[in-house]
Amino acid sequence: MSSYDYIVVGAGSAGCVLANRLSARGASVLLLESGGNDRHLSVKAPAAFPTLFQTPRDWNFLSEPEPSLYGRRLFLPRGRMLGGSSSMNAMMYVRGNRADYDGWAENGATGWGYDDVLPHFKRSERNAEFGEPYHGQDGELHITNRRWLSRHWQPFLESAAQLGVPRIADCNGSQQEGGALIQSTIRGGRRMSAARAFLSSGVRKRAGLTIKSDAHVHRVLIEGERATGVRYEQADQIVTAHAEREVILSGGAYGSPQLLMLSGVGPARHLRQHGIDVVLDQPNVGEHLQEHPMTLVNWRCATGDTLDDAADPRYLLPWLIGGRGKLSSNVAESALHWKSDPSLAAPDFQIIFAPVYYWEHGFRKTGAPALSVGVCYIGPASRGSVRLRSSDPGDHPRILNNILSEGGEMQAMLRALELVREIASQPPFSAHVREELNPSAALRTQRQLTSWVRATCEHEYHPTCTCRIGSPEDGVVDPELRVHGIEGLRVIDASVMPRITSGNTNAPTIMIAERGAALILDGAQAGAAQAVSTSRS
């Protein structure tokens, strides 16, 4: 048995931050990652992220049959490597809306209002274009506008502006609503994943930090009401590691609830069905899953200049030498944050423009230049769940999103589709598009479009909320991210969001880890001071 101050399970967007911040203060930290390394050209080349799907670097989850999507099972890619999903995402740096975080605080997540969390966003950030009061420029996470951009994104925003969607410079600043060029976690034309940002070679050499990849955690060890360590498998060996202070789960919205349940913390009846001894009956574990539904509109491109030929070998050398050219694109160039109902507190749609044919997660091709718009519903009410498939730690969990299952959601989707079609018919963007490939001009009525959405809708790769902040009656962790009822155990990742944010979830997850690390370190410092005071008295 080996012993550490902290054990962090999962080297994704949150785990990499935690390992860095905790070890920087002299603590001994064991960081465990189920997947392998991130050393692959498709990880480093931003435009290549879809080629990582359904490979050994992807968890390759599959949902249960979705009742509101004609029983379709959805492909759910998640990164299984150092950096987690930050090593295979579209690198969009979008924080969400002020109202998201103020809503968290108003509903019991004390200390998580917008003014509380803004310093933690800035703590990580090294922004190439924007500074105070909303951005940081001294952190490890490089964020920039600089990468290959097509000639199409600006006409898209211009046409949207003519329809009343204002052009803004920064959707992470004073105003989210409007159309903007999206900033990306890219540096020098290469992906800036959480692993690259927070686990640099200097950090990895710290005496107190131990990183183990290909290490799959089977369970958290709990003695009485306290987490004492973990049991994991590496190279066909079962290893036990002890945590002197805390075990921290950063396995994401699928992995963290699964590991809690495997460890006996979850809905008692469900655990007993799988032969797991109940340590704590906590019915909220794995509940409240939220995801952003996404449907796509595609057109043939009238003018070329797209990413449909980005895999051509002629683009490799400029990228290898100088990080230039099409492989430096993050695919998602610009976006509208738009309210389908003006009375809403925050935008409920993110409408993403991409100069490529993107369909079925990039697996389907047209053979011709095309343009795509992702219609992403970022204000969903639907909630799903994560449950065990078995007591085997190697089994994937049962994941049900319940996408578009709540009343009013489909009508909102149809309003957004109508806006996108209006943009495509409006100069100057209308000069860039030809035939509508999906859904096609033949589908016009609400009934036709509703059926099409249910038959083709996917998601925006943003699972959240399955270990949410709340009281013991309606949540899993308290506002300091401590698991209710178990000492020495926290969850720090996207699963703790009380409600999904109005935007991409990578930036908020990094913020959650920054604030989580600060809570841990402040608590440790206060505890040490109390111990000194007690000893003197």
Q: Which residues are identified as catalytic?
A: 462
Cα Rg of the chain (Å, integer): 23
Quick one: how far is CA 243 from the chain centroid?
27
Half-sphere exposure of 137 (CA within 13 A, CB side): 6
* SS (HEC) of 345-399: CCCCEEEEEECCCCCHHHCCCCCCCEEEEEEEECCCCCCEEEECCCCCCCCCCEE
Read off the tokens for 389. 């498939």
Read off the tokens for 91. 């690198």
**Spatial contact of 414 and 450, defined as CB atoms under 8 Å apart:** yes
State phi, psi for 232 to the nearest 5 degrees: -135, 165
Q: How far apart are CA 441 and CA 435, in angstroms?
A: 8
* SS (HEC) of 103-172: HHHHCCCCCCCHHHHHHHHHHHEEECCCCCCCCCECCCEEEECCCCCCCCHHHHHHHHHHCCCCECCCCC
The DSSP secondary structure of 202-261, one letter per residue, reads: HHHT-TTEEEESSEEEEEEEEETTEEEEEEEEETTEEEEEEEEEEEEE-SHHHHHHHHHH
From the list 181, 8, 170, 14, the residue with the least C-alpha distance to 86 is: 14
What's the distance, Cα to Cα, between the start and end of the chain in Å? 36
Q: How far apart are CA 259 and CA 388, in angstroms?
A: 9
* Burial tier of 26 (Cβ tally within 10 Å: 0-12, 13-18, 19+): exposed
CA angle, 123 as apex, 121 and 127 as ends, to 5°? 80
**Spatial contact of 198 and 13, defined as CB atoms under 8 Å apart:** no
Read off the tokens for 155. 């006409």
Bridge partners, 246 (sequence order): 6
Quick one: how far is CA 360 from the chain centroid?
19
3-class DSSP state of 76: strand
Look-up of token digits 């992403």? 376
What is the bridge-based pairing of β-strands 29-32 and 209-212? Answer: parallel
**Spatial contact of 217 and 9, defined as CB atoms under 8 Å apart:** yes
Measured between alpha carbons, how far is residue 60 from residues 52, 193, 250, 374, 384 in Å?
Answer: 10, 19, 18, 22, 19
